[in-house]
Amino acid sequence: MSHMSAILDPRLRSYQRITSLPFYNFEWFRFKIRRQFVSLAHFLHQNIVTFRNRVWLSVPLLVRVLLSFVLHLSITINQCFVHFLRLINTRKFITNVVAKQQLRWCFLGS
């Protein structure tokens, strides 16, 4: 009976949901971070103007773009970190549930 209540526990369901997500192995976060670098490089390539062998780029525009890039990159890294902590906490919970069940079976024989 306790085994069934552990399966119905919402934390176990969240563990199953987390591990079934496509970015469980963090490929999704790596893709997002790589995409942000590519979009920054694309923007710089599109907006750099060469005039008499000198590179010109609007400084306020560059500052705005770099700040936006840093902000989005930090948000992505933060999401990755939070996801990782959730995964660790859920795994700890699962380990505790399994350990308690094994102790119960060992001492009570059921």
E strand segments, the chain = 49-51, 54-56
Q: What is the pLDDT of residues 47-106, one digit of tens each?
A: 776 555 566 667 777 788 888 888 888 887 787 777 777 767 766 666 666 666 665 665
- 5 has a pLDDT exceeding 50: no
Question: What is residue 86's predicted lDDT score, i.e. its pLDDT?
Answer: 72
Give the bridge partners for 50, in sequence order.
Answer: 55
Indicate the pLDDT class of residue 6, thresholds 50, 70 and 90: very low
Q: Using an 8 Å Cβ cutoff, are 97 and 105 in contact?
A: no
Q: CA angle at residue 76 from 47 to 82, to 5 degrees? A: 170
> Which pTM was predicted?
0.48
